[in-house]
Chain A
């Protein structure tokens, strides 16, 4: 097989999936889902996390073997046993977490997937082939740069280019816009839409964003809890229809009102922070920011611009090279004592990894911040099991954490419940400063609405909030003031009432 025979002129095949079923243990991930892809269509699969979107495409790509269901390509029934077979049928997938090899150049990454790679690479010939193919593309990529130095949008383009170069005619994109700025997202989806209109390609995007479905897709399939709950041509559907299909009858928490706060004094000050990441490369490069009492400052930015390191510095997990953090004018160094003294609560991203101990019980995890405080100790020295259990019962109740018992191991909890547990631990006490990073990542609508509501309530109760999020919608919803972090610096700042998504998007890509 060579790329010539599958040149861009070749039309994509029709594809039909009938009655797909897949169960993992007791969980039914897919229940009788069917899907039809006409050549040149732009099809969106919409659903919440855990709705079965990924399972469906993984069955198509040969990663999972479905329990039941048939796949027809150009009318012929096919069995897809592994990704290579899927690829031979013209199916290609761009994963949410890129599968580029970071140390290799873009050209090397492209070559890598060729099935007819010769033992000694013929670089000139390969390069000519890549260049010829690139000329037919509506975008350009610098082929000689290592993949690790490409921006997220460029990586995405490279992944898409790779799939097309390798001959894919049905392209599946898994949440393609999560790591992109709004401009990059529009550009890439626009390019994909143009290519489907020319019938060079069939595109399937997996998404949970209504805007992408309504603006770019022709057809949509909505999944909920493993079942197809609706869909059809997008022009017949409105946003409300999609919302209703996607979340069903679940009642969402009402957004908490934003109480007006008077202009108050600076509370948390970051001055010229500089820190390196785990690989020793500068991640925070002179970030300065002042957060005032009772406001929510949203830090927007594409993942990997120093946000993780910033939270780690604030949590005392990472040393500063230079710069200082002051709270009420007093230097803060992130020690436990400092955090208790200034009543700082931190919701880190990926709480299961960063803020919990899996093998310890729910009640122990809930007591991490205050197990040694007078209320939870006997004679000021010994931890009181009973006090910790009582505290856990109370928090489980108030924050509706679903667990078998307070003594259950933490890793028996679902992702949303772990998130809720950390929220309960960090928000239950008297909080003066809340630092939250991607607090709703991976949660469903109901949980997201609840957590955002609690953050807003904390603010209304007088807490100062630093919200670091990759979800621009979340920042626009919650923040009183929005700043953008780019390559380790704060590069843009705007109050809420003058925030413009496009300007923020430009700042996220450094085009200030």
Chain B
């Protein structure tokens, strides 16, 4: 048995790495979903609500059926339904996607808290993880390399999505709709349908991101489960310039910022804990200011987005 302090200060970066991988997964899923939605020319600010709703429904399903993977699937489905609701609402004339998004954000969280009340106490089965650190004698390394398969799915999804946007018919259509709706109409594609489907797919991914929260890390269901990851992921997409692979790196950055506080705590530094806890929010704010400054080009933004018009 090794003493936990044996790695000394090395424990901090190792814990940050482990924490980064864990914390970044929901960011990754939500931001990939939002990228897909925004590539079609819509912004879904309701993904925070989708995330919480996904977390709740995954937890409840896992508890009721004993299968956490079924929970993941249900979370995705619930997310897709919320996405569809957003998509259809925005297809109505004179409906603003930002306003609908905020309404769905409130609806999603409210509904999740209401329906999720009975599941705060019970313990649901958790998603298994891959023990990639088994070779190491250090418990810190072993803990850091306990990685959930969803992370790898997300990691694979990012380049796959980038490839798909450039090399498939669907990808081309989504980008057309997001960049020049008139051109898409001229070509005979239904802009409304493509956007609704894009928002639905984005909701699916965000729902899965939510299931990761309740079924793996932190791995419980309560009302304070999400601390704005869904909203921060929207910022993240802007910073990643609508590039799925960049979303992955930026997710790691956000994950790392969130993991900093707990990592320092693990080596016994508890001073300023809340200050470190604020790191992701400070990062969000800094990135927002940076990316919305008129001096920085919104190059890469789909032209049909309400923010680029």
Q: Report A's interface with B, CB cutoff 8 A.
A: 82-84, 95, 97, 99-104, 108, 111-113, 117-121, 123, 276, 279-281
A285 smallest CB distance to B (angstroms) = 14
Given contacts A112-B172, A121-B172, 12 further A-B contacts (CB under 8 A): A82-B188, A99-B180, A101-B176, A101-B183, A103-B300, A103-B303, A104-B175, A119-B168, A119-B169, A276-B294, A279-B308, A281-B299
| A-side interface mostly | loop
Encoded as 1 (CB less than 8 Å from any A CB) or 0, chain B from 268 to 309 comes to: 000000000000000000000000011111111111000010
Contacts of B183 in A (CB 8 A): 99-101, 112
Contact status B179-A276, CB under 8 Å: no
Contact status A99-B169, CB under 8 Å: no
Contacts of B172 in A (CB 8 A): 104, 108, 111-112, 117, 121
Cβ contact of B170, chosen from A99, A101, A113, A119, cutoff 8 A? A119
Encoded as 1 (CB less than 8 Å from any A CB) or 0, chain B from 79 to 110 comes to: 00000000000000000000000000000000
B11 smallest CB distance to A (angstroms) = 43
Bound complex: CA A108 to CA B293 (Å): 31
- Tell which of A84, A102, A103, A113 has the most Cβ of chain B within 10 Å: A103
Contact status B187-A112, CB under 8 Å: yes
Contact status A117-B169, CB under 8 Å: yes
Bound complex: CA A112 to CA B294 (Å): 32
A228 smallest CB distance to B (angstroms) = 27
Contacts of B299 in A (CB 8 A): 279-281
Encoded as 1 (CB less than 8 Å from any A CB) or 0, chain B from 26 to 55 comes to: 000000000000000000000000000000
Contacts of A102 in B (CB 8 A): 179-180, 303
Bound complex: CA A119 to CA B303 (Å): 25
Bound complex: CA A281 to CA B296 (Å): 8
Bound complex: CA A120 to CA B180 (Å): 22
Contacts of A100 in B (CB 8 A): 180, 183
Contacts of A280 in B (CB 8 A): 293-299
Contact status A104-B179, CB under 8 Å: yes
Q: Report B's interface with A, CB cutoff 8 A.
A: 166-170, 172, 175-176, 179-180, 182-183, 186-188, 293-303, 308
Bound complex: CA A358 to CA B187 (Å): 33
Provide a sorted-by-A list of 21 A–B residue pairs whose CB atoms are within 8 angstroms: A83-B188, A84-B188, A97-B182, A99-B186, A101-B176, A102-B303, A103-B179, A103-B302, A103-B303, A108-B172, A111-B172, A112-B172, A112-B176, A119-B169, A120-B167, A120-B169, A121-B167, A121-B172, A279-B298, A280-B294, A280-B295
B26 smallest CB distance to A (angstroms) = 28
Contacts of B168 in A (CB 8 A): 119-121
Contacts of A104 in B (CB 8 A): 172, 175-176, 179
B194 smallest CB distance to A (angstroms) = 13
B212 smallest CB distance to A (angstroms) = 29
Contacts of A95 in B (CB 8 A): 186
Contact status A123-B167, CB under 8 Å: yes
Bound complex: CA A281 to CA B298 (Å): 8
Contact status B295-A276, CB under 8 Å: yes
Contact status A103-B188, CB under 8 Å: no
A321's nearest neighbour on chain B, judged by CB, is B295
Chain A to chain B: the 8 pairs with minimum beta-carbon distance, closest first: A280-B297, A99-B183, A101-B179, A84-B188, A101-B180, A117-B169, A101-B176, A103-B179
A110 smallest CB distance to B (angstroms) = 11
Contacts of A113 in B (CB 8 A): 187
Bound complex: CA A153 to CA B247 (Å): 36
Contacts of A112 in B (CB 8 A): 172, 176, 183, 187
Contacts of A99 in B (CB 8 A): 180, 182-183, 186
B309 smallest CB distance to A (angstroms) = 9
Bound complex: CA A113 to CA B187 (Å): 6
Contacts of A101 in B (CB 8 A): 175-176, 179-180, 183
A488 smallest CB distance to B (angstroms) = 15
Bound complex: CA A113 to CA B189 (Å): 10
Bound complex: CA A281 to CA B297 (Å): 6
B168's nearest neighbour on chain A, judged by CB, is A120
Contacts of A276 in B (CB 8 A): 294-295
Bound complex: CA A448 to CA B301 (Å): 38
Bound complex: CA A82 to CA B189 (Å): 12
- Tell which of A82, A84, A99 has the most Cβ of chain B within 10 Å: A99
Bound complex: CA A120 to CA B182 (Å): 24
B242's nearest neighbour on chain A, judged by CB, is A103
Bound complex: CA A100 to CA B183 (Å): 6
Contacts of B297 in A (CB 8 A): 279-281
B232 smallest CB distance to A (angstroms) = 23
A380 smallest CB distance to B (angstroms) = 37
Bound complex: CA A103 to CA B242 (Å): 12
B298 smallest CB distance to A (angstroms) = 5
Contacts of B175 in A (CB 8 A): 101, 103-104
B106 smallest CB distance to A (angstroms) = 31
Contacts of B308 in A (CB 8 A): 279
- Tell which of A82, A101, A117, A276 has the most Cβ of chain B within 10 Å: A101
Contacts of B301 in A (CB 8 A): 279
Bound complex: CA A100 to CA B180 (Å): 7
Contacts of B187 in A (CB 8 A): 112-113
Bound complex: CA A117 to CA B175 (Å): 15
With known contacts A279-B298, A280-B298, A118–B179 Cβ distance under 8 A: no
Bound complex: CA A121 to CA B308 (Å): 29
B188 smallest CB distance to A (angstroms) = 5
Contacts of A121 in B (CB 8 A): 167-169, 172
Contacts of A281 in B (CB 8 A): 297, 299
Contacts of B167 in A (CB 8 A): 120-121, 123
A61 smallest CB distance to B (angstroms) = 9
Bound complex: CA A102 to CA B302 (Å): 9
B292's nearest neighbour on chain A, judged by CB, is A280
Contacts of B300 in A (CB 8 A): 103
B180 smallest CB distance to A (angstroms) = 5
Bound complex: CA A83 to CA B185 (Å): 9
